[in-house]
Amino acid sequence: MNTLKFEKLLVCLDLTEMDDYLMRYARFLADTFQSTVVKFIHVMDSYEYPEELSELFSDDKVNSLKESITEDLSERMNALFDGSAVQPELVLEEGHTIEHIVRHADKNKIDLTVLGKKIDFEGKGGVGKKIIGLIPGTVLLVTETSPLHFNKILVRTNFAQPSVVALQAAAYLKEQGAAESYELHHVYKLPYNYFPVVDSKNMQKVKARLSPVIEKSYRRFIEKFKVSTDIPFAFSVNAKGDEAQSIYDYAKKNSFDLVISGTSMKSSFAMLITDSVSEKLADEDKNVPLMIVKDQKKFTSFFSALFN
């Protein structure tokens, strides 16, 4: 049974040009998923100033800055949500950005956290990669060029449980009318010592030889997890061991609007670290939107113990 839902959204702002796009994207998400809570959060850096500069950074001036930021963001936010069924909320905090966002997401049981991944806009949006492994719920990274739809979805599979969670997310998006289709994709990584002898000329031969092996693994996967055989499946071969690059190249070549990657952790400590493929897919140079889906129950229980 698919229990995934995106009723509570948290959108992270950083006072750059990206904010306007993220606000428009949040409106699209809220309308699509009929979200009941939409929170925009910005975390101001806090500093300890030398005593001789204290007058320049008095509490009154800091409060005035907060009021100015609140007024500006609220005006833009409310304008974009005019006529919406949900009233957005602005959260302005001061301190360590990652800590505040993670705590807020956990405390408010956020279903989907949205982060910007900049391509041409100023700044690199470095918080995104650092935070994806810490957020207890689903994370969506979008660029300023991301379309306001998920017509074609590519679901990464390694034939394990996380792939099922990712498939459930894709099915949910389709059920909500946000997507038209989705496809499973597996990347077979050749042992590194094969790299010197595998080039574009004989890659098709390699794929043909591997096809029965991949098909066998795929069949075991759908039987074990009761996955529908109606879902299209394809695989690619990477001779450099870079699964993320192969997924990205395939997504770009075939005009996918979203990549969904499931992730799981082997221990409580490891829960603080996202798998390397998802992390690489979050790189700024990869401009296909990325959704990282986790086992909500496991992550929620861990973070409750961590922060309480």
Please tell me the distance from the alpha carbon of residue 273 to that of residue 160, in angstroms, as a whole number: 18
192-211 pLDDT per residue, tens: 555 556 666 677 888 888 99
Report the amino acid identity of residue 8.
Answer: K
pLDDT at site 259: 97
CATH number at residue 242: 3.40.50.12370
| Other C-beta atoms lying within 10 Å of the C-beta of residue 114 | 24
Q: Indicate the range of 26-30, 54-58, 249-253, 283-287 predicted with least confidence.
A: 54-58
Q: Indicate the range of 96-105, 170-179, 291-300 predicted with least confidence.
A: 291-300
3-class DSSP state for residue 199?
coil
Q: Cα–Cα distances in Å, from 69 out to 8, 20, 79, 97?
A: 24, 14, 16, 16
Please tell me the distance from the alpha carbon of residue 243 to that of residue 237, in angstroms, as a whole number: 9
Residue 174 has pLDDT above 70, yes or no: yes
How confident is the model over 238-243, as a mean pLDDT?
Answer: 81
Residue 119 has pLDDT above 80, yes or no: no
- The candidate with the shortest Cα–Cα distance to 295, out of 264, 260, 257, 259, is 264
Q: Please, which residues have CB within 8 angstroms of residue 80's CB and are 6 or more apart in sequence?
A: 23, 24, 26, 27
The count of residues in the chain is: 308
Residue 125 has pLDDT above 60, yes or no: no
Which residues of the chain form beta strands (DSSP E)? 8-12, 37-44, 89-94, 112-116, 138-142, 152-156, 181-189, 233-238, 258-263, 290-294
| 2 in a structural domain | no
pLDDT at site 51: 53
How confident is the model over 255-277, as a mean pLDDT?
Answer: 72
Put the strands of the sheet holding 37-44 in their side by side order. 89-94, 37-44, 8-12, 112-116, 138-142, 290-294, 258-263, 152-156, 181-189, 233-238
| 135 in a structural domain | yes
pLDDT at site 53: 47
pLDDT at site 193: 59
- Look up residue 108 and give its DSSP letter: T
| 184 in a structural domain | yes
Residue 297 has pLDDT above 80, yes or no: no
- The candidate with the shortest Cα–Cα distance to 292, out of 178, 161, 149, 136, is 136
Q: Indicate the range of 11-20, 160-169, 185-194 predicted with least confidence.
A: 185-194
| 3 in a structural domain | no
* Structural domain containing residue 120: 8-307
| Total tally of structural domains belonging to the chain | 1
Residue 33 has pLDDT above 50, yes or no: yes
- SS3 of 53-85: the string is HCCCCCHHHHHHHHHHHHHHHHHHHHHHCCCCC
pLDDT at site 65: 79
Mark residue 281 as left, alpha or beta (left: phi above 0; alpha: psi -120 to 50; beta: remaining). Answer: alpha
| 300 in a structural domain | yes
| 298 in a structural domain | yes
Return mean pLDDT, the chain: 84
Whether the model clears a pTM of 0.75, i.e. scores above it, the answer is yes
Residue 123 has pLDDT above 80, yes or no: no
Residue 183 has pLDDT above 90, yes or no: yes
3-class DSSP state for residue 201?
coil
Q: Cα–Cα distances in Å, from 180 out to 67, 118, 152, 177, 258?
A: 43, 26, 6, 7, 12
| 265 in a structural domain | yes
